[in-house]
Structure 1
């Protein structure tokens, strides 16, 4: 019951908590990344919908996957104010309800830190991408500073309550997946604790058949 209450409170406060980072430059990071989305697009762990304003007209189908009911309720409210149609689903990234090669673009932003198994999630994302399809990612990752990494490993409050693992080597996980990294930049999330500030932003593709 306590964990359920924590998830409800976290969803209610999510936009407020992220407000300082968004205003300090994270919003522009999202916009620049999502400008590369096109065609049929799936976002994994869409949360309350912070990415919604940044999807370009080149996206002709937008599927938003969010398993948390409290986040999903706010996501629906935000999507209702858009001048575009969206499909919002309660689904797990480990078992996406779509055939192989359905999407041109997949998006994950601050979501891979909370999936139970990154490699399973990335393999499933690769499965639903068309050959040549692209994954756009924006994730916080394990720090290269041993002191910060040690704090990440300890998962201080409130990270266990919200299911976040800020110490994941997500770039290495993407490189070990069926996807091929094509671009990546390292940076920091502004206005957040050091344990969640190291960040990567970039793209990877599902390789197309040769010949």
Structure 2
């Protein structure tokens, strides 16, 4: 009961919590990253839809996957307000309900920190991308500062409550997946606690098989 109430409250407060970071430059990071999306596109862990305004016209079909019902309700309302045609699904990153090689672009933003099995999620993303398809990622990651990393490892409140693991070495996980990293920039999420400020933004691609 407590966890259910926590998820409901987190979904209700999510946009307000992220507001300072978005206004301080994070929304421009989203805009720049998502400008690269094209064709049939899937976003994993779409949350309340903070990325929705930034998908370009080059995206011909947009599928949004979000397992939390409270987030999903707000996501659907956000898409309706924007007049954006989307397909919104209840599914988990580790088991995407799609055949192989159907998407041109996949998007994850601040989602790989909360999936139960990060490597399985990345393998699924690679599976549903067509050969040559691209993953666009924006994630907070484990700090290179040992003192900050030690605090991340302790997962202080409220991170366990919301299922977030701010200490994940997500770039290493992407590099160990079937995807090939093509670009990555390191930075910091503005206006957030140090334990979640280290950030990466970049792209990876599913390799095209050689003859």
Match of 2:205 in 1: 205
Match of 1:117 in 2: 117
Whole-Å Cα distance in 2 between the matches of residues 6 and 81 of structure 1? 26
| Count of residues in Structure 1 that have an aligned counterpart in Structure 2 | 211
Whole-Å Cα distance in 2 between the matches of residues 194 and 29 of structure 1? 19
Spell out the pairing of 1:135-150 with structure 2 (5 A cutoff): 135-150=135-150
The root-mean-square deviation of aligned C-alpha atoms, in Å, is 0.5
Unaligned stretches of 5+ residues in structure 1:
none
Unaligned stretches of 5+ residues in structure 2:
none
1:184 aligns with 2:168: no
Q: Deviations over 1:125-153 (max 9, x none)?
A: 00000000000000000000011000000
The answer to which of 76-85 and 120-129 deviates more is 76-85
Partner secondary structure for residue 171 of structure 2 = helix
Q: What TM-score comes out, normalization by structure 2 length?
A: 0.99
1:87 aligns with 2:84: no
- Cα deviation for residue 210 of structure 1 reads 1.2
Match of 1:22 in 2: 22
- Cα deviation for residue 81 of structure 1 reads 1.7
Q: What TM-score comes out, normalization by structure 1 length?
A: 0.99
Partner secondary structure for residue 59 of structure 2 = coil
